[in-house]
Amino acid sequence: MATYPIFERKNVLVTGGAGFIGSHICERLLRDANVICVDNFITSSESNIDHLLQHPNFEFVNHDIIQPLHIENLTELDHFKVKYQGIQEIYHLACPISKRNFDDFKIATVLTNSVGIKNILDIAVKYRSKMLYASSSVLYGNRQDGGKEKYSEHDECHIDHLTSRGAYDEGKRFSEAIMQTYADVHALDIKIARVFRTYGPRMKIFDGNLLPDIIMNALDGKDINLTGDEDTRVSLAFVTDIVDGMIKLMMSPVDVTLLNLGSDQDVRLVHVAQLIMQLTGSVSHIRFDTPSMHYTEPGLPDISRAREILGWIPLVRLEDGLKKMIDYTKSHRHQLTF
């Protein structure tokens, strides 16, 4: 196997780098790495990376990973010396995500979670790159046992691959399987982060996401409709905490593969809405909607392994995180179209 030297900074590839979490990873990595951000804006936004485009150690590549990506042929990356240095790390977050328009991207989703990840793994094999995959807590299924259960990495996955969301849910499970298969066959150092509900600046505002919808309605004085009742609970981790966990996971020993990343603290959803109303000075009213037959209430992550192995726990207080998200929404709500 070829060995690639590192000249000054390591080269890091981030797929889905213009997305919500991906853009925060790109921003963080620029402290000590050359960052190659790959995205096709199918459900992400150029505004998420506008502030990075002029950075000398950042390059954006507009590409759909369903098609093979030949990094070494891109002349815009010559100053990163990819032909000689290769790619040291890959953060793979590319996956179409849209709560409001999920059906519009089903084919793109299922292909990204199959052909797309295969194409990125081929890059990892070529350059002997470490690779981290952003998986999802959706694999654990619904909250069980009266809502008190925490899911550990040893728990079985419980999903129905033939539902209308199979392209995403089963796609995430298949992606984990192909990651492990490539690791077994090619001796790759792979990492899988099962990410629980994450919030923060750069979440899509007009796409049916829980917190952006609450914040927008609070700012506009509209009714805040919550699914469930006053006892409905959520788990919320701020995006910079999740990014910190991913970077620590990437740096972990080769025998560390799968970890949960998220908040293990239960918060009543009505309390979150009331806190947002308080922070925005809103006069909105909270109303409760009856859950649909397809409604699911995610469980909590057991993050004991991440705490023990990585020394990682979520640090951002809910109130502080919501303030940052509210400030972002106020300054961007008239610039964003989705």
Point out which residues pair with 58 in neighbouring strands: 35
Q: Which residue reads 């981290």 in tokens?
A: 132
pLDDT digits 0-9 by tens, 107-118: 999 999 999 999
pLDDT digits 0-9 by tens, 172-229: 999 999 999 999 999 999 999 999 999 999 999 888 899 999 999 999 999 999 988 8
What does the alpha-carbon distance between residue 56 and residue 132 come to, in Å, rounded to a whole number?
A: 24
The pLDDT, as a whole number, for residue 8 is 84
Q: Which residue reads 């940052």 in tokens?
A: 324
Residue 66 binned pLDDT confidence (cut-offs 50, 70, 90): very high
The pLDDT mean for the chain works out to 93
Phi-psi region of 325 (alpha: psi -120 to 50; beta: other; left: phi over 0): alpha
Would residue 168 show up in a list of annotated catalytic residues for this protein?
Answer: yes
**pLDDT (mean) for 23-32:** 98
**pLDDT (mean) for 15-28:** 98
Q: What percent of the chain has pLDDT over 70?
A: 94
Close Cβ partners of 228 (under 8 Å, ≥ 6 residues apart): 269, 288, 289, 291, 295, 297
The pLDDT, as a whole number, for residue 133 is 98
Residue 293 binned pLDDT confidence (cut-offs 50, 70, 90): low
Q: Above 50 in pLDDT, residue 337?
A: no
What does the alpha-carbon distance between residue 136 and residue 71 come to, in Å, rounded to a whole number?
A: 27
The pLDDT, as a whole number, for residue 141 is 85
With the CA atoms of 117, 122, 125 and 128 taken in that order, what torsion angle do they form, in degrees rounded to the nearest 10?
Answer: -70
What pTM value is reported for the model? 0.95
pLDDT digits 0-9 by tens, 102-153: 899 999 999 999 999 999 999 999 999 999 999 999 999 877 655 557 999 9
Point out which residues pair with 190 in neighbouring strands: 131
What does the alpha-carbon distance between residue 98 and residue 17 come to, in Å, rounded to a whole number?
A: 16
Buried b (16+ CB within 10 A) or exposed e, 30-46: beebbbbbbbbebbbbe
Buried b (16+ CB within 10 A) or exposed e, 139-159: bbbebeeeeeebbebeeeeeb
Residue 338 binned pLDDT confidence (cut-offs 50, 70, 90): very low
Give yes or no for a contact between 314 and 238, defined as CB atoms under 8 angstroms apart. yes
The pLDDT, as a whole number, for residue 11 is 98
Residue 164 binned pLDDT confidence (cut-offs 50, 70, 90): confident
The pLDDT, as a whole number, for residue 188 is 98
Q: Which carries the bigger pLDDT value, residue 251 or residue 2?
A: 251
Q: Above 80 in pLDDT, residue 317?
A: yes
Q: Above 50 in pLDDT, residue 239?
A: yes
CATH for the stretch 10-199+237-263+302-315: 3.40.50.720
pLDDT digits 0-9 by tens, 221-232: 999 999 888 988
Give yes or no for a contact between 125 and 186, defined as CB atoms under 8 angstroms apart. yes
From residue 313, give the alpha-carbon distance in Å to each of 118, 261, 267, 300: 31, 9, 17, 14
The pLDDT, as a whole number, for residue 333 is 76
Q: Which of 151, 168, 182, 199 is catalytic?
A: 168
Q: What percent of the chain has pLDDT over 90?
A: 80
